[in-house]
Amino acid sequence: MNPIIKHSIRFVFFILLQVFVLNTISPLHQFIVPYIYFLYILWLPIGIPRIWLLLLAFIFGLTLDYFTGTPGLHAAPCVAIAFLRPFLLKLLLAQETAEAGYMEPGHKSMGWAPYITYAVVLILLHHSYLVLIEWLQFGNFLYFMGKVAGTSAVSLLLILIAELLIPRREKQRAVK
Amino acid sequence: MRNILLFIQRYFTFICFLILQILCIVLLSRSSKSHETFFSTAANEVTGKVNQQYSGVRQYFSLRETNRMLTEENVRLRNELTNNYIDTASTQLVTTDSTLRDSVGRMRKYTFLPAHVIGNTITLQNNFLTIERGSAQGVKKGMAVTSPQGIVGVVVEVGPNISRVMSLLHRNSRVSAMLKKDTVTGSLEWDGADPTYLTLRNIPKSSVIKKGDTVLTSNYSANFPSRLMVGTVADIRSESESNFFSLTIKTAVNFFNIQYVYLIENVRYKEQLSLEQTTPTRQ
């Protein structure tokens, strides 16, 4: 499939999933909000130009924000993880994999351990930032820590489930 | 000059990152400062359309519950019809009047408008409802919103056909509410934790409160008519450092399944608000 079409479908899918399914789940606990929408940014191709990555993340976050009525709230963490993503990938990937720019980060292209590290770092960053700006005016530190931990755990679980459920066909690069 | 250009070229992505971040924070601060959603009309209409499609599907799953609630309300209203009451002096005839001015010269203060809820969140810190009514149908900013069971929120953003309602489950929501028993008035807020409980602050310790007491909207609110159902007292906390109780209120309305709401317009809303906002001048 054409990658542009593929990522556009993903864009719409993740927004709808977050707005109409995950955001309507009745809260189990005040710490736990299931967030998975930013997996879209995690799954963008490795070699995407950094400026496009930033812009896409911004538009993506803002789209979600217009559904929840809080412009900027989700866009800011999205842009933050999009900015840090290339550095993290450079650290985690072996040289020759990093050059295979059209590939997407995933357990097949990276291996389980680096992929989970990659996901955990970005999840923690995203949630810390999100909860921080959400709670800046109320300032209860215990709540902040609890919410970051709870939300991150649920997100990691969702991302692992998604990774196992959704088969993403990775073209294996033929040796030239 | 050349060095500046080189600098920009070198840190181009970082500068873009900073610009986008600042943009986000500006958008966010603008939206929360004014207690309203910063919402361009175009985006509002687009998300509203999507919400509308989705709610059209979802609606079928809650038809039974909606019907039950409407029937309950009909029964309650029917019981209040004037012709159900017989006056002790049978020579007098009592009638209700729905015109702008009734025969005793009383002016109409509130008008009601039904609306269909097409979007609703409960899991966030700042929750909104989207309703399928707009300025074309006579919706104005600041109109009160109630459901058959109890009050829901206040209209904050009006598009041509779709409006946004700041739910009671919003960090900035403040509604004046009172205890039915002794009409002591406090401020109704939400602490962001549980969507079935609200907090009523500033109830003086002199008032005697029991769990299960009814809480109604107060007489002081500009947008809500007085004595609308809010909820019941679920827990009483006495703040040791102040002279006030802080009450946990179980909401009468179930925010999980709101389908239809009423918009209430206070005809004198603007007049009351502008008068209350002027600083009193010394004579």
Task: Give the residue on B whose Cα is nearest the Cα of A24.
Answer: B121
Q: Tell whether A15 is within 8 A of chain B (Cβ).
A: no
pLDDT of amino acid B226: 87
Of B16, B164, B256, the CB nearest to A26: B256
pLDDT tens profile B189-223: 998 888 899 999 889 988 889 999 999 999 888 88
pLDDT tens profile A2-11: 888 988 999 9
pLDDT of amino acid B92: 44
Q: What is the ipTM of this complex?
A: 0.77
Q: What is the pTM of this model?
A: 0.67
- Taking the C-alpha atoms of residue B113 and residue B229, their distance in angstroms, rounded to an integer, is 18
pLDDT of amino acid B38: 47
Q: Which residue has the tokens 């412009």?
A: A71
Of B23, B54, B194, the CB nearest to A20: B54
- Chain B residue numbers with beta carbons less than 8 Å from the beta carbon of A23 are 121, 123-124
Domain count along chain A: 1
Contact B13 A61 (CB under 8 A): no
Residue A63 lies in a domain: yes
How many A×B Cβ pairs under 8 Å?
A: 99
Q: Which domains does chain B have, with CATH numbers?
A: 41-79+109-167+258-267 (2.40.10.340), 175-254 (2.40.10.350)
Domain that holds residue A133: 3-18+36-165
Residue A68 lies in a domain: yes
pLDDT of amino acid B98: 52
B144 burial class (0-12, 13-18, 19+ CB within 10 angstroms)?
Answer: buried
Contact A79 B47 (CB under 8 A): no
pLDDT of amino acid A125: 93
pLDDT of amino acid A175: 44
pLDDT tens profile A42-73: 999 888 888 999 999 999 999 998 888 778 88
- In this prediction, the residues of chain B whose per-residue pLDDT falls under 50 are 33-38, 86-97
Q: Judging by DSSP bridges, how do beta strands B244-251 and B229-238 pair with one another?
A: antiparallel
pLDDT of amino acid A99: 60
- Chain A residue numbers with beta carbons less than 8 Å from the beta carbon of B26 are 72
Residue A142 lies in a domain: yes
Of the candidate ranges A23-27, A158-162, B83-87, the one whose mean pLDDT is the lowest: B83-87
Long-range CB contacts (within 8 A, 24+) of B272-281: B272/B222, B273/B142, B273/B222, B276/B222
